[in-house]
Amino acid sequence: MADFYELLGVSRSASAEEIKKAYRKRAREFHPDANPGDAEAEAKFKDLSRAYQVLSDDSQRARYDQFGEAGVGGASGGGGPSAEDIFGGGLGDIFETFFGNGGGGGSPFGGGRQRGPSGPPRGQDVEVIVDVDFIQAVFGDQIDVELKLPVRCDTCDGSGAGENTQPVRCSECEGTGQVQRVRQSLLGQMVTASPCQRCGGLGEVVTTPCASCRGEGRVTEDVSYKVDIPAGVDTGSTLRLTRRGAAGPRKGGKGDLYVHLRVRPDENYTRDGDDLVTEIPISIAQAALGTSVELETLDGTEELVVPPGTQPGREFVLKQRGVHRLQGRGRGDLIARVRVDVPTKLSDDEVDLLRNYADGRGEMVGNGKEKLLSRIKSAFT
């Protein structure tokens, strides 16, 4: 057999999703239903199925990459399982496993067989918005999410039937869950199948409904889930909890729960990707002469030296003091930005000191009490 990667037309570094997409594309091309009587196409399809079976399994793929076919039991015609063995049925079953049954039962290329009822429908997916604290978003946490959801009825165990009764076969569809209709068209008679309206496609009806759920098989209750918040999430992040959504009717499976996160703002920090930004307020004298300040970080207090002549807006970067990276290792940085606070009220002594300083530098200044523009105007009157 040719190299499995070459068979599927992917590189050796292809992701699992890329391998799956490549298999779906090539399987459609060589499926026996699309090539009736073509033994070569059928053999090719089996080879593709064998290649996908190996490369879609992480452990088998690792052995294949290291030892080739010998590491995974050889080709399907030898010691390894055949495509039929892998999927537990014929080639039509393999196709339906990956492409569905075409909406009408069996392969979309024809030759399908009559199916029974598809079973109770899956419950709806549920979405909820949850507020989390800034610190929880940065470092991660576990929170409780409470909501009202349809859950399986304990009284009837989800069957919908009353005490000491069971659902009975639907007389309308005879338990198939589908009703077939024959219609005339320009091409002749056409047979269409649609879900049975009487039983909702379940193939069974409840003649004596459960008193608790009224035949639905589910009731609405308060539900609480513990949800792990990964470190590094931000507003707009969504967590998917599989099978934590609404229960389906009559023992139907559960949908999924989508938790949309909204992070509360923090009074000291703003977020820029994985970096955090904070301000250092210092005075004019501290900016000119230098100082040291105690900077509050999320990991504790650190001393930061501000050199003489520091200008407003200067940034000091503290590595690995920011947000944990959600999609990688390590953390972002903490950016401390200098803010020079100018006093709005001065004592007479402070005014004199600053005026002497300005005079020494030859700078025009006010008297600290009235606007400079007023003094300039008064000089010309």
Cα four-point dihedral sign 208, 209, 212, 214: negative
pLDDT confidence tier of residue 113, bands split at 50, 70 and 90: very low
Give me the pLDDT at residue 302, please.
Answer: 95
Alpha-carbon distance 344 to 94, whole Å? 79
Please write the tens of the pLDDT for every residue from 210-220.
Answer: 999 999 999 99
Average pLDDT estimate for 64-82? 58
pLDDT confidence tier of residue 12, bands split at 50, 70 and 90: confident
Average pLDDT estimate for 42-63? 86
Average pLDDT estimate for 254-268? 96
Give me the pLDDT at residue 117, please.
Answer: 63
Residue 361 tokens read as 């530098």
Residue with token string 């859950």:
151
pLDDT > 50? residue 93:
no
Give me the pLDDT at residue 81, please.
Answer: 42
Candidates 181, 139, 120; CA nearest to 297 is: 139
What percent of the chain clears pLDDT 90, i.e. is strictly above it? 54
Alpha-carbon distance 370 to 381, whole Å? 17
Range in 60-74, 225-239, 306-320 with the lowest mean pLDDT: 60-74
Alpha-carbon distance 158 to 213, whole Å? 9
Alpha-carbon distance 31 to 35, whole Å? 6
Return the SS3 of 161. strand
pLDDT confidence tier of residue 377, bands split at 50, 70 and 90: low
- What mean pLDDT is reported for the chain? 84
pLDDT > 80? residue 309:
yes
DSSP 326-367: TTSSSB--EEEEEEEEPPS---HHHHHHHHHHHHHHT-----
Angle between the N-to-C axes of helices 39-55 and 16-30, in degrees from 0 to 180, rounded to the nearest 10 = 170
> Could you tell me if 322 and 276 are in contact, meaning their C-beta atoms sit under 8 angstroms apart?
yes
| pTM over the 0.75 mark | no
Domains in the chain: ranges and CATH: 4-99 (1.10.287.110), 116-162+210-264 (2.60.260.20), 168-205 (no CATH), 270-341 (2.60.260.20), 348-379 (no CATH)
Average pLDDT estimate for 242-270? 95
* Bigger pLDDT: 67 vs 106: 67
Give me the pLDDT at residue 119, please.
Answer: 73
> Could you tell me if 224 and 145 are in contact, meaning their C-beta atoms sit under 8 angstroms apart?
yes
pLDDT confidence tier of residue 62, bands split at 50, 70 and 90: confident
Give me the pLDDT at residue 73, please.
Answer: 62
Give me the pLDDT at residue 338, please.
Answer: 98
